[in-house]
Chain A
Amino acid sequence: MSLHSGIPDAIAADVKHGERLEWWTLAWIGSVVVVMALVMGASQAMKSAVIEDVLSLIPAIVFLLSAHWERKCANSRFPFGYRRANSLAFLVAATALLAVGGFLVYESATTLVRQEHPTVGGITLFGHTIWLGWLMIAALVYSVIPPLILGRIKQPVAKRINDKVLHTDALMQKADWQTGLAAIAGIVGIGLGWWWADASAALFIALSIIKDAIGALEQAVAELLDGTPRALDSNKLAHDAEALIAALKARFGDVDVRLRETGRYIAAEVDCLPPTTIPTEAELMGDDRAWRLASLSFRPD
């Protein structure tokens, strides 16, 4: 049981898996950004999609950074270690998600208010001039596939290692493929002469992204304010935290129990004299989640 050092063996393989998934994310989404930038032309919808894809790399980057820092040992300058890097990364990732949603709302609302008519002309390839919209749609179809696959693979890993950054990244991937589909609908709409279709579809998606982002932001702030551990996908208390409070109360009577979360780890504080036999993590959390309990302290008064 240690609040200060490294990644427990029980989740080391899954954290490695998460890191590999994030490297794949950087490579795939990076390639999507390049392809989209090549065909974006003067389309505002495509520009927005490219900017959104660039922003969507932030959770992957901060996950990799926080996992790197989490492994570092405590030292005299950081005596409590670096595990809280994950909490900070979660705040950054949630803010990035909110930025994507806010940016899309701004772009689509201004397009609708100004009644901008998007222009998508022709491009000459190998002697043939074709509508650039077809290339944009092909690029967007490509852009939808990686986040759809990666997002689904990341969710169970995020759950196993209780990583809110990875979970927020999975939400970002959901935002990615949804905005990709919205942009395809928008390009087809432009092709049909419906100048408002693109912006309306993006606005609809943006509102759902903002809802997810605000939820994640509430959790991130709660974690940084030493709130009781929250669930991965909502601001409700985490089930394992509630179970731990119940287990501690069952063992030590009706005493005050405080839990807080440092990254993915729980620190518990019980208002009673230290018992002669300290219960193990597995006794309190169960074998699967024993790694979550990093610290248990007793306050006699």
Chain B
Amino acid sequence: MRYSFALPVAALLLSGCDSLPRDAAGTTERIERTHAMRIAVLPGTPNARPALALLGTYAREHSARLTLVSIHGEHAHKALEDGEVDALVGHFAKASPWQADIALSKPVARGEPDDKEHPVLRIARRNGENALILATDRLVARAAQ
């Protein structure tokens, strides 16, 4: 039992350190293939520019450009969950009720507020798209330094 797990795990670790993680639904590969990253901005977001700038950097690194998708606010989270958009920009609280359904970044261009209920600018990504999530997390962290 022990060896049946240990051997494939060791082999995977040795061969795939650099390429991990990958996206469960292949968002990064699709962005690279179509040269387009589909973004939606939640209506009422006061200033989405810092987040869009970060996503623009990500898109350029993957030879793509941002494509803004116009979605009604009520449908935006569902569109992200269903993979109709690649990222959603808006104000979200750390304790957002959507937290389990989408992957929220740390606050963009500011620190984490003390109040978990206080909404701040964040980038929401589709759950399981771990390569995209890690890459955008890195950009958000770099911007905060």
Nearest-Cβ distance from residue B22 to partner chain A, whole angstroms:
4
Q: A131 and B134: CB pair below 8 A?
A: yes
Q: B127 and A192: CB pair below 8 A?
A: no
Q: Mask for B109-142, Cβ within 8 A of A = 1, else 0?
A: 0000000000000000111111001100110011
Q: A119 and B103: CB pair below 8 A?
A: yes
The main secondary structure of chain A at its interface with chain B is: mixed
Q: B16 and A192: CB pair below 8 A?
A: yes
Tell me the bound Cα distance from A191 to B24 in angstroms: 8
Nearest-Cβ distance from residue A147 to partner chain B, whole angstroms:
12
Q: B134 and A121: CB pair below 8 A?
A: yes
Q: Does B20 contact A (CB under 8 A)?
A: yes
Interface residues of chain B, those whose CB is within 8 Å of chain A, are 1-2, 5-6, 8-9, 12-13, 16, 20-26, 99-100, 103, 105, 125-130, 133-134, 137-138, 141-142, 145
Among all A-B residue pairs, the 6 with the closest Cβ atoms:
A117-B128, A122-B137, A191-B20, A193-B22, A191-B21, A181-B5
Q: Does A59 contact B (CB under 8 A)?
A: no
Q: Does A76 contact B (CB under 8 A)?
A: no
Q: Mask for A99-142, Cβ within 8 A of B = 1, else 0?
A: 00000000000000000111111101001010101000100000
Q: Mask for A176-204, Cβ within 8 A of B = 1, else 0?
A: 01100110110010111111000001000
Tell me the bound Cα distance from A72 to B50 in angstroms: 69
The main secondary structure of chain B at its interface with chain A is: mixed
| Interface contact tally, CB-CB below 8 A | 93
Task: Using CB atoms, name the residue of chain B closest to A130.
Answer: B134
Tell me the bound Cα distance from A195 to B103 in angstroms: 15
> Given the complex, which residues of A lie within 8 Å of B2, measured CB to CB?
177-178, 181
Q: B9 and A184: CB pair below 8 A?
A: yes
Tell me the bound Cα distance from A251 to B145 in angstroms: 86
> Given the complex, which residues of B lie within 8 Å of A117, measured CB to CB?
24-25, 126-129
Task: Using CB atoms, name the residue of chain A closest to B138.
Answer: A129
Nearest-Cβ distance from residue B81 to partner chain A, whole angstroms:
10
With A117-B127, A117-B128, A122-B138 known as contacts, the answer to whether A185 contacts B16 (CB < 8 A) is: no
Additional pairs, 17, CB under 8 Å, beyond known A117-B24, A121-B130, A188-B13: A117-B129, A119-B128, A119-B130, A121-B105, A122-B137, A122-B138, A124-B137, A127-B145, A181-B6, A182-B5, A184-B5, A191-B20, A191-B22, A192-B16, A193-B23, A194-B24, A195-B24
> Given the complex, which residues of A lie within 8 Å of B126, measured CB to CB?
117
> Given the complex, which residues of B lie within 8 Å of A124, measured CB to CB?
137, 141
Q: B133 and A122: CB pair below 8 A?
A: yes
Nearest-Cβ distance from residue A207 to partner chain B, whole angstroms:
12
With A122-B141, A184-B5 known as contacts, the answer to whether A192 contacts B12 (CB < 8 A) is: yes
